[in-house]
Amino acid sequence: MSGTDLIYLDNNATTRIDPTVLEAMREAHELAYANPGSRHAAGRKARQTLEDSREQIAEILGAHPTEVIFTSGGTESINMALWGLAYSPEGLILSAPGEHPATSAAIQKMLDQGWTSAEFPIDEEGLIVTERLSDLAWNHARLATVILAHNETGVIQTLDPIIDLCEDNRVPLHIDAVQAVGKIDVNFRKLNVTALSLTAHKFHGPRGIGALLLKSKCQLKPLLVGGFQESERRAGTESVPLIAGMAKALELWHSQKAERSKKLTEMQHQFESGLKQALPNIVISGSAGDRLPSTSNVSFTGLDGEALLISLDLAGIACSTGSACASGSSEPSPILLAMKTPKSVYESAIRFSFSCQNTPEEIETAIARIVEIVEPQLPPSE
């Protein structure tokens, strides 16, 4: 299959930047090139572009402009939230199993410094078991974090019970919405949480730019210190072209969200039903609940996921065995382990993730290539 056209189905890792976004960035590079902290005319022009972008992002996400803090991406936003909201030197942090590596690594660092942790219970579909939330030691909790839409399975959590318990117990709550923003509606004001992380490259924006939404009047210890940028909450000269690109990418999603959601839902159904018809023994993790229409976590039971990934790559299909930020790890997927999936399932899991730039024709071709690779490796039916 050498020489075949690439079919990019790894959009949860990153998306291809939209040409309209590139044009917005080019314009910002040309017209808003100065330091937005400078007081001359060129600096004021850059500041205006920066603040216009902030207002646009805030409006789409249901936040006040002063609640938007620009960062370098999801990892920084998550670390900024967890370290910045950890007001006490120690305490209990609550999180969901299988959080993104940016979250789990930050929590491990906190444990090294004297914090303790506990996890929200989840079921076999990856959903938090709300009936058991009250069993946790809320009186000792000082911080909570949860992923809204999972990067490996696409499972979307119901947050209301956790939000209510955090509010009742005065526990700051951070939401990792990195995979959700630009794919489903996210309204910061309606969620009524303390902080929320996002990044542009998950919705056809540029890499290297993200944001932390921080509830008004909440105190945040800065992760980076130096200048007075971002209302003294994040030091460092803001990248106006990247910020303008993120605003444009979010605006494009917002104006096309109904069409994009419909297209993604149809392609996800086409992909999964096509595979099931040809390979009836596949397992799709998290498929019984609400999922992102962009994500299919498929296990080809009995096969080796890493070997299969190489074969798919050689066949021109870009996909992954889990989070791109955990690539190179030989450990099983934490979320699939927490969902109590059998070894034969989690060892053969492949994540396929779609975007609005994919086509039904690509999906059909991908199905054919996958079946051609997998079918000969399956044991003969009895």
Task: Report the side by side order of strands in the sheet with 295-299.
Answer: 283-284, 295-299, 349-353
Nearest Cα neighbor of 13 from 328, 342, 318 is: 318
346 and 336 Cβ atoms separated by less than 8 Å: yes
- Write down the catalytic residue from 166, 218, 319, 325: 325
Distance CA 118, CA 85 (A): 17
CA distance 165 to 137: 11
Sign of CA dihedral 129, 134, 140, 142: positive
DSSP string, 242-282: HHHHHHHHHHHHHHHHHHHHHHHHHHHHHHHHHHHHH-TT-
**Whole-number Å distance between alpha carbons of 158 and 155:** 10
How buried is residue 135: exposed, middle or buried, by Cβ count under 10 Å (0-12/13-18/19+)? exposed
Provide DSSP, 310-357: HHHHHTTEE-BSS-GGGTT--SPPHHHHHTT--HHHHTTEEEEE--TT
**Is 325 annotated in the active site?**
yes
Active site residues: 325
